[in-house]
Amino acid sequence: MALERFKQALASLLDGAPSDPLERDEYFELHTLPTAGGQDFEVVICDEEKEIFAVIYTAHLFEEGEEGQEAVEALVPAFLEQAFGLTPEEWQSSEPFDLGWRSREYLWFMEFAVPGLTPLCRYD
């Protein structure tokens, strides 16, 4: 099953997560899903309860309004397929890409969901 690689990476990340909700949030901000290939991107859990992930472009920090951001968006499907075996039909963007503040420059990121992901990534 194509979701299997993504589920394995998710399980690996969740295994190390603390049970305290505040510590979990901080853990997910600092730890990325382990990838099986692909480069220039990282994937983090940005909302565990709603199962929303973010793919972050790490190869370049952008200035606000800088050109080239649309070109990064076009690289996401190939990265998710190479790193996790997720085809474009298996995930969906939940928000358009955006820039996140880091120092005085910005990291490019896009939030996405993986419909049909079971078991849920929530911790009980």
User: Burial level of 1, CB count in 10 A (0-12/13-18/19+)?
Assistant: exposed
The two structure tokens encoding residue 43: 């994937």
Structure token digits, residue 111: 């939030």
State both tokens at 66: 């800088």
Report if residue 121 sits inside a domain: no
> Residue 109 domain-assigned?
yes
Q: Which pLDDT belongs to residue 78?
A: 94
In a domain, 120, yes or no: no
Cis check for the bond before 119: say yes or no (omega within 30 of 0): yes
What's the number of domains the chain is made of?
1
Q: What is the pLDDT of residue 124?
A: 43
pLDDT of residue 46: 87
Q: Does a structural domain hold residue 118?
A: no
pLDDT of residue 55: 93
- In angstroms, the CA 18 to CA 61 distance is 30
Tell me whether residue 124 is in a domain. no
Residue 65 CA to residue 63 CA, distance in Å, equals 6
The pLDDT score that the predictor gives to residue 102 is 59
pLDDT (tens, 9 = 90+) of the chain, 124 residues, equals 567 888 888 988 999 999 998 898 889 888 999 987 778 999 999 888 888 999 999 999 888 888 999 999 999 999 999 999 999 999 999 888 888 865 567 889 999 999 877 656 654 4
Q: Report if residue 106 sits inside a domain.
A: yes
Q: List Cα–Cα distances, 7 to 14, 20, 33, 80, 86, in angstroms.
A: 10, 22, 10, 13, 10
> What's the confidence (pLDDT) of residue 122?
54
Is residue 123 included in any domain, yes or no? Answer: no
> Is residue 65 in a domain?
yes
- The domain in which residue 70 lies consists of 3-113
